[in-house]
Amino acid sequence: VSRRYVAFAPDLFATRYAKTAHGAIAYGSDPVVAVIDPALRGRRVRDVLPYLASDAPIVGDLASTRPFAPTALLLGTAPLGGVLPEGWRSTVVEALTSGLDVVSGLHAMLGEDPEFAAAARVGRATISDVRAAPPPRLFTGAAFGVRAVVLLTVGSDAAVGKMTAALELTAAARAAGTDAHFVATGQTGIVIAGRGTAIDRTIADFSTGAVEELVVADGDAELLVVEGQGGIAHPAFAPVTLALLYGSAPDALLLVHRPTRERAEGFATPIPPLRDLVALYEALCATVKPARVIGVALNTGDLDAAAAEGALVAARAATGLPCADLVRGDAAAFYAALRPMLAGKGSPR
Amino acid sequence: VSRRYVAFAPDLFATRYAKTAHGAIAYGSDPVVAVIDPALRGRRVRDVLPYLASDAPIVGDLASTRPFAPTALLLGTAPLGGVLPEGWRSTVVEALTSGLDVVSGLHAMLGEDPEFAAAARVGRATISDVRAAPPPRLFTGAAFGVRAVVLLTVGSDAAVGKMTAALELTAAARAAGTDAHFVATGQTGIVIAGRGTAIDRTIADFSTGAVEELVVADGDAELLVVEGQGGIAHPAFAPVTLALLYGSAPDALLLVHRPTRERAEGFATPIPPLRDLVALYEALCATVKPARVIGVALNTGDLDAAAAEGALVAARAATGLPCADLVRGDAAAFYAALRPMLAGKGSPR
């Protein structure tokens, strides 16, 4: 389905809570033609967030998006807990009755809401809950046998740039002629890729099976770059991280880190040193299928150039691994580190 | 609710797949008055499984249980994947229409099945899906502040005896005068305790929150002994294990091991050495809230006495920790190791 999106992010577009909107603008195959955020109306996306490099206008309400001929409303924020803010209800109903599809990454399933279902019938519109879970299936071990080299991005915390790192590495591999696929495992990634499974929404017993299913489905590629979730040291989200770590049966890991993050998102627990994180991720993999961390990707979006360079030097010294700056640099170093593995695989084990 | 159970375990009662039936017989507060297993009909429970020490008769079908005046049918096995075997359907309908409540630990929610719901109305019976998930809530960190000392049982694999170890330790602590509570986190434990949450059935993002809720609800006890699930080295179930490890915010861990188990249940991956498992569990806890393994409980049910003693000696040598045999010994050593912690806590941190 090719769409023209309006991204709905009232009062939050400039914040990291709007990461679904930002991701769709930066990496989506379908264009975001307008953004709704009354607090920023009259400006353009690039005025607010220059790195997104988009001229899409920011307007105050749904009616004001008509000149841009959208075909779908994208709920562009991911509130903690995934509940629909009550103030959004009227806009969702208005969109559906006027014939706009609604795409949601919330835990709450909008398609199961009677008012939304009725509005969709009126407008002949569809509701796409990208976080809807696939049918339950247990992990079988089939992921151990795929042809593709599998790389998983893992984090020093939640919300540090694991999806961005995966997308950038996929692009670098494709630019070098490798048949690389991005495997989406969260709501923003699914909006960008047009497919995938939100692992955080699966039943815990079947979470590894849901990851395995994604890897097996794309297993004939040369390289699968799997979007990681959460962080192994995050008190709330680590089980989802581990579902990715075991379910994707990776051959290699890429550790993503935000040097300014000192404590786990939402908690007082400190982020462990990079060396400890590398050792912990590798020790977990060793119990099931060994995999090494092949590099550290830094998210330096909130550092100046000198501080970013300092963070790179420190990360190299701490880990002895290839390190690159995702904001000021590129993912070529990680692709280079993967190349010997690509040559060595290529037939099912 | 006080019940008189019939445990339904056709063709499987003598196997480990009937662990829900075995647990209810060994530890349940409500009696199991009969077992249905056509393959073993005419015998008594203690003839088949002497350690259960029960005279309950084994019969071939539901009609034959009438003389024992049951009030509820307990689905006594936990098939992998948790789907209802199609051959069980007629017995479930027969039980409900004749007025027996049905208690199920399957992933499949029997209460949502139209045929079962109709049968329950006919017989004025209830359907209790003990694995039903509580309302979603995120982990908040409230578990870090409970008054109780929290001990979690962790495993070298799935199905090694974590629930039994937790029940035995709870009993040892109570015998010594400590206000200890068993916290049930799986279907068998819930049947035994009459309450709890099946963590494997929760949505992955909320799995740590569901564990936290159990610990906070009982947080004023002196000692909470939390039933662990799966194993950190199990390819399929480790995310549930980690939800328990972080969500319960334990002060101490008890590692449970079955010396004869060489590979992860259902997979070819070898069980890591005990030392590595201790280090891995402690390294994970260290990232969120430090906790130490205070002992190793061995499940020696499939060893003779000499081999069991050898396994104990080997476990002590490998870990340097208090080790005890759950089958031939008791949990007093672990309670002794916990005592200094009980004296030191007692007010909220």
* Closest Cα in chain A to B79: A138
- The span from the CA of B257 to the CA of A200, in Å, is 30
pLDDT of B152 > 90? The answer is yes
pLDDT > 90 fraction of chain A, expressed in percent and rounded: 89
Q: Which chain B residues touch A137 with a CB distance below 8 Å?
A: 81
Instruction: Provide the pLDDT confidence category of residue A1 given band limits of 50, 70 and 90.
Output: low
A325, containing H or E segment: strand A323-325
Cross-strand bridge partners of residue B6: B34, B73
> pLDDT confidence of A344, banded at 50, 70, 90?
confident
Provide the pLDDT for residue B2: 87
A215 touches chain B (CB under 8 A): no
Residue type for position A166:
A
- Side-chain half-sphere exposure of B220, counting CA atoms within 13 A: 1
Rounded Cα distance, B234 and B204, in Å: 17
CB contact under 8 A, A200 and B201: no
Residue found by looking up tokens 């009909």 in the block: B41
* pLDDT tier for residue B1 given thresholds of 50, 70 and 90: low
The answer to whether A138 contacts chain B (CB < 8 Å) is yes
Alpha helices in B176-247 (DSSP H): 187-193, 207-217, 238-247
Give pLDDT tens digits for A19-51: 899 999 999 989 999 999 999 999 999 999 998
Q: Distance between CA atoms of A277 and A204, rounded to whole angstroms?
A: 23
pLDDT tier for residue A347 given thresholds of 50, 70 and 90: very low
Task: Count interface pairs A-B at CB distance under 8 A.
Answer: 136
Alpha carbon of residue B101 to chain centroid: 22
Mean pLDDT over each residue of chain B, to the nearest integer: 95
Q: What is the pLDDT of residue B290?
A: 97
Length of chain B in residues, anyone? 349
Look-up of token digits 């353009």: A44
Using the predicted structure, report yes or no on whether residue B157 has a pLDDT greater than 90.
yes
Q: What local confidence, expressed as pLDDT, does residue A79 receive? A: 73
**CB–CB contact A287 B267 (8 Å):** no
Q: Using the Cα atoms of residue B259, residue B265, residue B269 and residue B275 in order, give the sign of their dihedral.
A: negative
| pLDDT number for residue B134 | 92
Residues 6+ apart with CB under 8 A from A273: A318
Asked whether the beta carbons of residue A239 and residue B204 sit closer than 8 angstroms, the reply is: yes
Among A139, A235, A283, select the one facing B283 at the smallest CB separation: A283
Mean pLDDT of B57-68: 97
The two tokens of residue B318 are: 């490998």
- Between A102-111, B92-101, B211-220, the lowest mean confidence (pLDDT) is in A102-111
In this predicted structure, the answer to whether residue A349 has a pLDDT above a threshold of 70 is no
Q: How far is CA A220 from the centre of its chain?
A: 22
pLDDT digits (tens, 9 = 90+) for B26-42: 999 899 999 999 999 99
Mutate to test the interface with B, among A199, A287, A289 (most CBs of B within 10 A): A287
* pLDDT above 90 as % of chain B: 89
Cβ separation of B269 and A280 shorter than 8 Å?
Answer: no
Indicate the helix (H) or strand (E) that contains A107.
Answer: none
Alpha carbon distance B312, B330 (integer Å): 13
pTM of whole model > 0.90? Answer: yes
By the 8 A CB rule, do A5 and A70 touch?
Answer: yes
| pLDDT for residue B169 | 97
CA distances A110 to A52, A77, A85, A136, B245, Å, are 28, 15, 12, 20, 33
Per-residue pLDDT reduced to its tens digit, B287-321: 999 999 999 999 999 999 999 999 999 999 999 99
Structure confidence at residue A16 (pLDDT): 85
> What is the mean pLDDT of the segment spanning A4-15?
95
The answer to whether A307 and A314 are in contact (CB under 8 A) is: no
pLDDT tens figures, A266-276: 999 999 999 99
Spatial contact of A20 and A8, defined as CB atoms under 8 Å apart? no
A235-254 pLDDT, tens digit each: 999 999 999 999 999 999 99
Sign of the dihedral defined by the CA atoms of residues B51, B52, B55, B59, in that order: negative
Rounded to whole angstroms, the Cα distance separating B191 from B206 reads 23
B273 close contact with A: CB closer than 8 A: no
Q: Output the CA–CA distances (angstroms, integers) from residue B173 to A79, A325, B170, B333, in the order listed.
A: 43, 54, 5, 11
> Residue B204 and residue A239: Cα distance in Å, rounded?
7
**Is A203 in the B-facing interface, judged by CB distances under 8 Å?**
yes
Residues B73/B101, Cβ–Cβ less than 8 Å: yes
* 8 Å CB contact between A123 and A72: no
CB-based contact A261:A271 (threshold 8 Å): yes
In Å, how far are B102, B130, B131, B294 from B109, measured between CA atoms?
12, 9, 8, 38
Q: Does A5 touch chain B (CB under 8 A)?
A: no
Question: CA–CA distance from B24 to each of A239, B5, B225, B265, B301 (Å)?
Answer: 29, 9, 18, 23, 18
DSSP state at residue A263: B
Q: Are B224 and B185 contacting, i.e. CB atoms less than 8 angstroms apart?
A: no
What is the phi/psi pair of residue A339, to 5°? -50, -45
Judge whether A240 is closer than 8 Å to chain B, CB to CB. Answer: yes
Q: Does B142 touch chain A (CB under 8 A)?
A: no
Burial class of A94 by CB neighbour count within 10 A (0 to 12, 13 to 18, 19+): middle
Q: Is A128 helix (H, G, I), strand (E, B) or coil?
A: strand
| A238 touching B (Cβ < 8 Å) | yes
Average pLDDT, rounded, for chain A: 95
Q: Which residues of chain B neighbour A199 with C-beta distances below 8 Å?
A: 204
Q: What pLDDT is attached to residue B349?
A: 39
Phi and psi at residue B180, in whole multiples of 5°? -105, 140
- Give the pLDDT of residue B348: 41
B255-276 pLDDT tens trace: 999 999 999 999 999 999 999 9
Q: What's the average model confidence in pLDDT over A294-320?
A: 97
- For residue A186, which phi and psi values (nearest 5 degrees)? -140, 170
* Contact (CB<8Å) B204/A243: yes
Q: For A134-149, write each residue's pLDDT tens digit.
A: 999 999 999 999 999 9
Cα–Cα distances (Å) from B198 to A27, A138, B163, B290, in that order, read 39, 17, 13, 25
pLDDT in tens, A60-118: 999 999 999 999 999 988 776 778 988 999 999 999 999 999 999 888 899 999 999 99
